[in-house]
Amino acid sequence: MKIRATQAILECLLEQEVDTVFGYPGGTILNIYDELYRYQGRIRHILTAHEQGAAHAADGYARSTGKVGVCFATSGPGTTNLTTGIATAHLDSSPVVFITCNVGENLLGRDAFQEVDATGIAMPITKATFLVRSADKIPDVMRQAFAVAATGRPGPVLIDFLKNVTAPDQMVEYEFIPWQKNRGCESIRSLNASHSLKNPEPDRQDVDKLLEMIRHAERPFLICGGGVVRGRAHKEFREFAEKLDAPVAITVMGGGGFPGAHPLTTGMIGMHGSQASNVATSECDLLIAVGCRFSDRVASDPASFAAQAKIVQIDIDRAEIDKNVLTDHHIIGSARRVLSMLNERLPQYHHAAWKQHILPMRAPSTAGDSAQLTPQQILDVIQYQTPPETIVATDVGQNQMWAIKYLHFRYPGQLLTSGGFGTMGFGLGAAIGAQLGNPDKRVIHITGDGGFRMNCNELATVQYYGLPIVSVIFNNGTLGMVRQWQSLIYGGRYSATTLDRGPDFVRLAEAYGLKGFRATTRAEVEQALAAALDAGCGAIIDCQLDIDEMVRPMVAAGAPITDFLLKEATT
């Protein structure tokens, strides 16, 4: 049947079972927003304070629910304001479809008001981009965009509609096709042959070879990467680790892929990795990395990384194989499928001597009773006063490393953090998306005073939609991670990192109609968090920390991961 082009766009969203869209309107996208007015009650639109906040919210929604997030923005600055959020999703393999509108065909290429080459800008930071110049392409492009975003290694896709394509007189032939069926359509596959819409099937001979390598290993070691989380392969990974009876390191993006409190967990690996994880990497004879791309934060010195080991990489994306670290063997396929194939034939192993050597290196997990408030005390309170299913969204920097080090994540989507792009200001938007996608769960936003300033305007979104998000600010009056580098590497020359300025975060919360608390001791954190959780609305807890608090341990960039610049704290 024939329907309006804008109607076809929204019907395609319903095909994909989209019920929530994040965005910010403007001139060129008004035709879509006018159509959206007719879909009230079927598609919920969340108006954020800024397009970047909308991008992060759609991303947080996707990561926490496992669905594809959706974000709307207008042309020009609306589109360019999305780019940080698009790149964030791209580096962390998060499936988000970004829908923008551009000037009309007659103005394209003429430097018209708010014209920008959206697809050109987004091409390097997306899985695919589409410039839609004809209304009859809408159903196929929409379906392909969602299929590409969610299939294989997930990631963002951008669709840019010319304004004339969305004009009220534009009609298109449309038939509703449920998403379970439309990913197999010939019309979708023919649109872009460069994107396979099926996950690669692992080679059984490759699986056989890994099983043989395991049989000869005496000191096996596992890395749980972001691919385990994105592929929701946590159950299969846990079975594999327990059958192999091997220590497990967890990357920043792997948080929730393997239980943080599991007896086999050695903690984070790499630049701020634990002694147990980094030493195990250097002393193992077989290293199996699942869904891990060996970034510079994990393998800071590729030449010395796991030098005594046979290195095996399991990844859905062939492009990641041997890109950063040369492997001895690899298997291409989704983490869940590969691990299932391994688990079917893997016997129970026992590596008691190896575990007894590595696992005691894990640092004690006591928060201590220091009179001066410490990051571990704050996180200890959060761990014990919030429900075990609580979702945690972090910003980037010291607060991020402390949260990942001291909190124990149990399931995929419980930790939302910008690991690849390192986006300050990511946390609040992501928390908004997570809370809207998971209304029955608590969401805690962990941030620093620097990162919080980046996107604190999204407190307006928290207040308007009645979201009970608690933002816990690690306020040390500085750009903490940068200051840490300045202290250790730059001779204490603190250039442009001291944040001796406003706002007063408690009063800022109150200005937005939220609850504000300030804490200087553990007891005050306990009282503030209890009150914030009981407030029934969003809240901020401003936690006052010493300016020279540091993340421990630390390895200098480019150094072998056992060359600690800072040792792990023992209390």
User: Does residue 367 lie within any of the structural domains?
Assistant: no
Last residue of a domain, one of 339, 361, 383: 361
The count of structural domains within the chain is: 3
CATH number, domain of 513, equals 3.40.50.970
Last residue of a domain, one of 303, 330, 361: 361
Q: Are residues 390 and 500 in the same domain?
A: yes
User: Does residue 567 lie within any of the structural domains?
Assistant: no
Categorize the per-residue pLDDT at 190 as very low, low, confident or very high, splitting at 50, 70 and 90.
Answer: very low
Other beta carbons within 10 angstroms of residue 384's beta carbon come to 10
> Of the listed 114, 385, 527, 544, which one is catalytic?
114
Q: Are residues 452 and 513 in the same domain?
A: yes
Q: Are residues 22 and 159 in the same domain?
A: yes
Residues 6 or more apart in contact with residue 329 via CB below 8 angstroms: 206, 209, 210, 213, 310, 311, 312, 313
Q: Are residues 427 and 351 in the same domain?
A: no
- Bridge partners of residue 44, in order along the sequence: 20
> Of the listed 127, 137, 163, 405, which one is catalytic?
163
Last residue of a domain, one of 316, 338, 361: 361
User: Does residue 370 lie within any of the structural domains?
Assistant: no
CATH number, domain of 334, equals 3.40.50.1220
Over residues 254-270, the mean pLDDT reads: 97
Per-residue pLDDT reduced to its tens digit, 507-555: 999 999 999 999 999 999 999 999 999 999 999 999 999 999 999 999 9
Q: Are residues 311 and 389 in the same domain?
A: no
User: Does residue 366 lie within any of the structural domains?
Assistant: no
Return mean pLDDT, the chain: 95
The reported pLDDT for the residue numbered 491 is: 96
Per the annotation, the verdict on 481 as an active-site residue is yes
Q: Are residues 384 and 351 in the same domain?
A: no
Task: Give the whole-angstrom CA distance, residue 6 versus residue 164.
Answer: 11
More confident residue, 154 or 567: 154
User: Does residue 198 lie within any of the structural domains?
Assistant: no
User: Does residue 311 lie within any of the structural domains?
Assistant: yes
Q: Are residues 472 and 413 in the same domain?
A: yes
Per-residue pLDDT reduced to its tens digit, 95-129: 999 999 999 999 888 989 999 999 999 999 999 99
Q: Are residues 240 and 384 in the same domain?
A: no
Give the domain range for residue 414: 375-554
The reported pLDDT for the residue numbered 322 is: 96
The reported pLDDT for the residue numbered 20 is: 98
Hey, which bits of 9-48 come out as E strands?
20-24, 44-47
pTM, two decimals, is 0.96
Per the annotation, the verdict on 186 as an active-site residue is no
Helices (H), 83-220: 83-91, 118-122, 138-150, 179-182, 186-191, 204-216
Per-residue pLDDT reduced to its tens digit, 421-459: 999 999 999 999 999 999 999 999 999 999 999 999 999
Q: Are residues 164 and 275 in the same domain?
A: no
Q: Are residues 18 and 156 in the same domain?
A: yes
Q: Are residues 379 and 477 in the same domain?
A: yes
Per the annotation, the verdict on 163 as an active-site residue is yes
User: Does residue 102 lie within any of the structural domains?
Assistant: yes
Per the annotation, the verdict on 11 as an active-site residue is no
The reported pLDDT for the residue numbered 480 is: 96
Per-residue pLDDT reduced to its tens digit, 297-314: 999 999 999 999 999 999
> Of the listed 253, 341, 481, 554, which one is catalytic?
481
Yes or no: say if 102 and 118 are a contact pair by the CB < 8 Å rule.
yes
Strand 515-519's sheet: what is its strand order? 415-416, 391-394, 443-448, 470-475, 539-544, 515-519
Categorize the per-residue pLDDT at 570 as very low, low, confident or very high, splitting at 50, 70 and 90.
Answer: low
Per-residue pLDDT reduced to its tens digit, 274-304: 999 999 999 999 999 999 999 999 999 999 9
Q: Are residues 410 and 535 in the same domain?
A: yes
> Of the listed 51, 320, 458, 549, which one is catalytic?
51
